[in-house]
Amino acid sequence: MLGLVIVAVLIVAALAAVAVILLSAPTAPPPPPEATLDRVTVTPSSLTLDVSQTGTVSARAFDTDNREQTANVTFAWSANPSAAVRFVSATNQATAQFKALQGGSVTVTVTATWKNVTRSAQVSATFGAVHFVVTADKTDPLLGEAVTLTVAATKADSTPALDYTGTVVFTSDDPQATLPTAPATTFQASNFGTKAFSGVIIRKAGAVVVNVDDTEADVSGTITLNGNRPPLAVIRITPNAVNPLQITADGTQSSDLDSGDTITAWAWAFGDGGTETGATAAHTYAEARTYTVVLSVTDSHGAVNSTSQSYVARAPPFAAYEVLQMNASGVDIYVRVNATGSGDPDGTITSYNWTWGDGTYSNVTANETYHIYDAAYNGQTVTLSLRVTDNDNLYAIASQDVTISIAVLPPLAIFTYTVDQATRTVDVDASESRSPQGRPIVYYNWTWGDGNWDNVTTPLFSHRYSLDGLYTINLTVGDSLNLEGYAERVVTIAQPEVAPNVYFNVTRTLMRVEVDANATWDLNGNIAEYDWGWGDAANTWTNGTLPYAEFTYPTPGKYTITLVVKDSTLPTALENSTTKKVSVATSTLDYTYWDFMNVLYGEWWDYRAWHSIFDDRPINANCFNETAMTSPYGAGTVCTSAIPGLKDFETYPYTNWYPLPGNTKYWNPGNNPLVYAPYRFRAVGVNIPGYNVSEPVFLPVMNYGEAPAGDSYVDFDWKMQYLDYASATAATAAGCPGVAPDTNDGFKIRSVVMLTMDLAMSRRIFGVVGGTVAQARSWWNGAIDPTCSGKGSVETALDDWFIAMGGGQNTIGKYDIVNTYEWYYQPMYTNMSATVDDDGTTHVTIDHAAWGTEALLARMFYWGNASYADNYLDSTKATGWWDMELAWFEDFSFVGTLHPSTFDFDLTAVQQYHFQIAAMPGADGFLNRIGDIAYWTWGPILSDYTNDALAQHPLSELDRYPTQTYLHATPGSRQYNKSLPYDYVPIAWDLPVGHTWHFEFPRGDVIYYDPNNTPIGANPQGGYVEIRGPLKYLEQKPAGYGDWDGSAMTWDVVGPANTGGPSGAPGNYPLEPWGSITFVDPPMIEPASAEWSPVSAMSFAAFQPAPETASIVSASSSASATTTTFVPLVAAAPRWSRS
């Protein structure tokens, strides 16, 4: 107890000591002052914008302790002058966004307040002025004519203001004008500062001002249009009094309603395909009938108006006679003549007036008569003339010199000859042979002196001798009385020793080539040796006596094969040589092009022309296709022969007139047509990457979870053709919906796809459920509908896949087709069948009709597995096998095999809407329809030709050219010599190693349309002036791209071949096709410069077999008929059967 007390006392004492120490410590200092707002900073401290651009500035606040208080202060933003800025975000936040409204210097101030302390900071801004440059596609529009105004936001230095956005308002001093209105007047960022406004219409004659003003920013522009009234066309026709088939047409009474305007051009169309220009024009008709003469006059502002007048062309008669009889009549001479060779195309001959050459004449109504000559005329030659007069009082005269003789005189045999010694060929000409008494020569009998003879009815002939020597050529001519005359000449045939004519073909299979020189020949028949040089690094040669050889190259590349052929001429052999290029690789692709202008138009073209909104037209013909004139449509036929004087349907050379979307009628002032010709092409690919059993691209994959087997494959055979009356009727009869003939617009297309694959691929491609043959058969039996009118689950899934790829009404597809087709992908029916063999091999047939399949396939061939929707502005992202993209396949056949990593295929098709005619300046260097030159051109393009055809589908390859234009130069176009926005997408096509082109162009005459004499705004059915002539090679782009052979009319390009053209990446777009060829009309004046380029408009049917050889081919020169080789539509059958 005592211990505890002592401890307590010690603790108390210690605590007391502590208390004393604490109470005696010094006084504490006062607390520090409270922090207040010290400063505000702004980032950036200065900035430069263009009017309409949006700027962003951010403020930060710091207190006197240098601690950031941005989150705690109150901000307020303002600008001076305030009218120069509109804040687009709240002005009480640390970050502010504002839109520049006026050009000049602007101070943007931020004020920050915290704890009753305010600080501010400023941003110095410079706003660059922007104005609108307004242009019009027509500066002198007709009253009521739609004009497209292009409004381009432009900086003060005249460069484009690409970032301009805003809403504009249009005003005009024409109170009746139709102007664009909201919401269409808003510029989005995607417009890049330039937007076209169509449908502007003025209704006041003379100068009309149209203003464009931003609704809030200080941006404006103006344009003055001239309201124009069309001229008045007046026709006066004066026929030739002797031959009313000849007329003089007078348009000098035509006038213009507007003061100061004049008529600057007169264009005549005479109703028979003939045209002329000038205030007066002469024309001769080929036959008698009623024609419609059309005069189109153009005023000084380019306005065109037309009038027409019927003219009944009467034909004069033609005169011809022969002497039937000439003999003694007592002491005189009796001559009987017959004029049955005379005639009248549009009536009858009413009189025959004979002038006998002895001072007398006879006028009779019969076509046969006689005359008695005085004995003094025996042996004399007289001029015997016949004048015939028809029921229109028109006449014709025929006369010839006749020897009057009581003796019957035989004909005179006369001939000349020329010899081609190299070929031992003699050409003879007996056209000077005649009867002195007026009888016709009826046969020419040739004996050649070598045991051969020919009896012919024409005076020109040729003969080839087999051996050298002297030969006597005898000619016997016989007249209508079987009297004969004779002549003979001796000819020497001495063939010289000549070198062989060397030709060979190459067939390439990947790295291996086979060569065949069986086409080589020697006129002397003594070929002895074939020496082949392969052009490889080792300089390998193969020598032998046989005309064929083969070689395998060790390295991919382009090589030149040389063939030297020697004969056995002594003492020194004669030789000749030739070369061909070949490209070998581990993956090869060969293109062949032929039948230019030589493909019959299918009946679907007449559906497009007469039963759709597209208004394609046959040129100078009533219909495209002969069967369209008899195939029913409604109460009539698909096409009728409605225009007298035009041929019923198109014949070779085949061309079509196509109006770009919008103003599709030729008489519409805004009409913008293009003229094309068809051709065929073939593509043969071996070991092509990018398409395989994992990603077939053009076939669905409905179960990605099912992996292909190691040896999986898919064989495919895809046939496709547009529907005509017969195929649409058959499909409708089989119960297939949506394809009735009277609903056909010419673009409904039917595919029949036959597939063969292993069981694993059927599970991957179509989602087949089941690991055994029995399970697969059961699945197919339940997944397909046995009728064409219904759909099973797999048929519905396939339709859904097509739509997902091509795009639906309101959905954008991976390969969205709207702007290459003017419509979304829309199936009509899908009908499938399948069989499964005992080993699991599965055979599937798909019968599918739709709008847009051809466009979808073109996308898939160009873009490959890359998405068009994601990459449409960047061609360098395309991964397809085809290095151009164009729909409009006819006679389509696509056969091949998908392998684990590559695929092989053989595609043949007709290509439409590509090979195109336009015009270039003549010798004066101006495109002015004075000596302009028509040309045909081929070059690579992409498929889009519209922009935003449907509002839900804004993606278009034309977005690559938001402001660019090119010069339109289609003969007869109302837009001739006008720079208009791009309606096609040119590209550069570089050929990699292993790829080749081979073109075969027509050797004979083709058709051109005269750009100088085809009237502006011409009706394609009768108004286009035709010129016939051969294709004359002008140029390639780039120069020297490939090898042109003018004698064979072939163009070959062998890869690797680089055009040097822009890549097609954003900012690097070509303005014209690279890898192109151009032909001009040879009768026309040469171009001012072969370097001139219009940046030409290439906005740019049965399965016809292609030539057998992939690299070197010979194509038929005859037109190919249009047939359909699809699987026939029959009544519903079981969808699979057991093998």
DSSP 16: H
Residue 292 buriedness (CB in 10 A; 0-12 / 13-18 / 19+): middle
* 941 neighbors 1076 (Cβ within 8 angstroms): no
CATH of domain 236-313: 2.60.40.10
pLDDT at 1086 over 50: no
Structure tokens at 522: 């020697």
Return the closest-CA partner of residue 621 out of 642, 639, 646: 646
For 376, other C-beta atoms within 10 Å of its C-beta total 12
Return the closest-CA partner of residue 843 out of 722, 786, 762: 762
Name 892's Cβ contacts closer than 8 Å, sequence gap at least 6.
718, 719, 720, 721, 854, 907, 908, 909, 910, 1103
* 411 neighbors 433 (Cβ within 8 angstroms): yes
- The CATH superfamily label for domain 524-584 reads Immunoglobulins (2.60.40.10)
What does the domain layout of the chain look like in residue ranges?
37-128, 130-227, 236-313, 322-404, 416-493, 524-584, 917-1080
pLDDT at 753 over 80: yes
pLDDT at 311 over 50: yes
**What share of the chain in percent tops pLDDT 90?**
82
pLDDT at 1036 over 60: yes
pLDDT at residue 931 in the model: 80
Q: What is the DSSP string of 215-243?
A: SSSS-EEEEEEEEB---B---EEEE-SS-
pLDDT at 1085 over 80: no
Q: How much is the pTM?
A: 0.65
**Average predicted confidence (pLDDT) for the chain:** 91
714 compared with 963, residue with greater pLDDT: 714
Whether residue 440 is preceded by a cis peptide bond, meaning omega within 30 degrees of 0, is no
CA pair distance 275, 576, nearest whole angstrom: 51
As its CATH architecture, domain 130-227 has Sandwich (2.60)
CA pair distance 651, 266, nearest whole angstrom: 30
Return the closest-CA partner of residue 1018 out of 677, 675, 678: 675
pLDDT tier, 1114 (very low <50, low <70, confident <90, very high otherwise):
very low
pLDDT tier, 823 (very low <50, low <70, confident <90, very high otherwise):
very high
pLDDT tier, 25 (very low <50, low <70, confident <90, very high otherwise):
low
As its CATH architecture, domain 416-493 has Sandwich (2.60)
Name 24's Cβ contacts closer than 8 Å, sequence gap at least 6.
none
pLDDT at residue 419 in the model: 96
pLDDT at 1084 over 90: no
* 1008 neighbors 1083 (Cβ within 8 angstroms): no
485 compared with 302, residue with greater pLDDT: 485
pLDDT at residue 1122 in the model: 39
In tens, the pLDDT along 136-175 reads 988 889 899 899 999 999 999 999 999 999 999 999 999 9
pLDDT tier, 26 (very low <50, low <70, confident <90, very high otherwise):
low
CA pair distance 543, 547, nearest whole angstrom: 10
Say if strands 95-100 and 85-87 run parallel, antiparallel, or are unpaired.
antiparallel
pLDDT at 23 over 70: no
Of 297-311, 890-904, 939-953, 1035-1049, minimum mean pLDDT range: 297-311
In tens, the pLDDT along 983-1003 reads 999 999 999 999 999 999 999
CA pair distance 677, 601, nearest whole angstrom: 10
* 582 neighbors 550 (Cβ within 8 angstroms): no
pLDDT at residue 1092 in the model: 42
pLDDT at residue 6 in the model: 39
Given this structure, which CATH class describes domain 37-128? mainly beta
Q: What is the mean pLDDT of residues 667-671?
A: 93
Dihedral angle sign, alpha carbons of residues 642, 644, 648, 653: negative
- Can you tell me whether residue 977 is helix, strand or coil? coil
pLDDT at 9 over 60: no
pLDDT at residue 197 in the model: 94
82, 124, 151, 153, 542 from 102: Cα distances, Å: 10, 14, 19, 14, 81
pLDDT at 1105 over 60: no
pLDDT at residue 13 in the model: 44
CA pair distance 959, 481, nearest whole angstrom: 80
For 93, other C-beta atoms within 10 Å of its C-beta total 14
Helices (H) and strands (E) in the chain, counts: 9, 69
Residue 838 buriedness (CB in 10 A; 0-12 / 13-18 / 19+): exposed
CA pair distance 852, 751, nearest whole angstrom: 11
Q: What is the mean pLDDT of residues 595-622?
A: 96
Return the closest-CA partner of residue 315 out of 292, 291, 337: 291
pLDDT tier, 936 (very low <50, low <70, confident <90, very high otherwise):
very high
Whether residue 1038 is preceded by a cis peptide bond, meaning omega within 30 degrees of 0, is yes
pLDDT at residue 151 in the model: 96
pLDDT tier, 1083 (very low <50, low <70, confident <90, very high otherwise):
low
Angle CA 454–457–463, to nearest 5: 35
As its CATH architecture, domain 322-404 has Sandwich (2.60)
pLDDT at 247 over 90: yes
* 625 neighbors 608 (Cβ within 8 angstroms): no
pLDDT at 1060 over 70: yes
For 1077, other C-beta atoms within 10 Å of its C-beta total 23
139: which strand partners?
none
* 829 neighbors 821 (Cβ within 8 angstroms): no
In tens, the pLDDT along 534-568 reads 999 999 999 999 999 999 999 999 999 999 999 98
pLDDT tier, 214 (very low <50, low <70, confident <90, very high otherwise):
very high
HSE, side-chain direction, 13 A CA sphere, residue 459:
14
Return the closest-CA partner of residue 826 out of 797, 794, 849: 849
What does the CA dihedral 887, 888, 894, 899 come to, rounded to 10 degrees? 10
For 1042, other C-beta atoms within 10 Å of its C-beta total 20
Same fold, 37-128 and 130-227: yes
